[in-house]
Amino acid sequence: MAIFDDVVAQMTEAMKAKDAPRLAALRGIRAAFLNETKKDNSKSLADDVCIGLLRRLEKQRNESIEAFEAAGRPDRAAEEQAELVVIQEFLPRLADDAKTRAWVAEAIAATQASKPGDVGRVMAAVMKAHKGDVDGNLAKRIASELLGA
């Protein structure tokens, strides 16, 4: 089942179960999907477009959680965390630290990077080869570490 259709189906289940927090998160996801469909006048979205939107929503939630915790609002941070859990249900799992480290090492060898200034070239190679499978922040941290930045 496509991600778009899966979100709609789970919305129905959340309504029947009267699960208000989950329903609110699913409605937010669906709203983001519908806004994207309006851009190109389509009825549905391809899974890769949905994943891109979900990654953006995930990043927004993570930033909101940090901001609410810094502002001393643990109640709002908990709400954002609950939405983040729902968003992550629809995302494919990212590579773990060991696999990311191996991919970064391969990219360093392929680009012949040797100094901290080459992090950009390494990141470009990693993201091109493994887009959607790797966390960019983790890959950048590992690349900087391996290149001695």
**Fold observed for domain 3-89:** Hypothetical Protein Yqey; Chain: A; domain1 (1.10.1510)
Integer Cα distance of 120 and 141 in angstroms: 12
The closest of 52, 55, 147 to 101, measured between CA atoms, is 147
Q: Are 118 and 147 in contact (CB under 8 A)?
A: yes
Q: Are 143 and 123 in contact (CB under 8 A)?
A: yes
State residue 118's pLDDT score: 83
State residue 27's pLDDT score: 96
Integer Cα distance of 33 and 38 in angstroms: 9
The closest of 10, 62, 16, 65 to 33, measured between CA atoms, is 10
Q: What is the DSSP letter of 18?
A: T
Q: Mean of the per-residue pLDDT values for the chain?
A: 90
CATH architecture designation of domain 97-146: Orthogonal Bundle (1.10)
- Does residue 70 surpass a pLDDT of 80? yes
| Residue with the two structure tokens 């480290």 | 101
Quick one: pLDDT band at residue 149, thresholds 50, 70, 90?
Answer: low
| Residue with the two structure tokens 């009267």 | 18
Q: Where in the chain is the domain with CATH 1.10.1510.10?
A: 3-89
Distance from the Cα of residue 149 to its chain's centroid: 26
* Residue-wise pLDDT tens digits, 95-141: 888 999 999 888 888 888 888 888 888 899 888 888 778 888 888 89
- Does residue 71 surpass a pLDDT of 80? yes
* Residue-wise pLDDT tens digits, 13-30: 999 999 999 999 999 999
Quick one: pLDDT band at residue 47, thresholds 50, 70, 90?
Answer: confident
Integer Cα distance of 20 and 38 in angstroms: 26
State residue 111's pLDDT score: 87
Q: Where in the chain is the domain with CATH 1.10.10.410?
A: 97-146
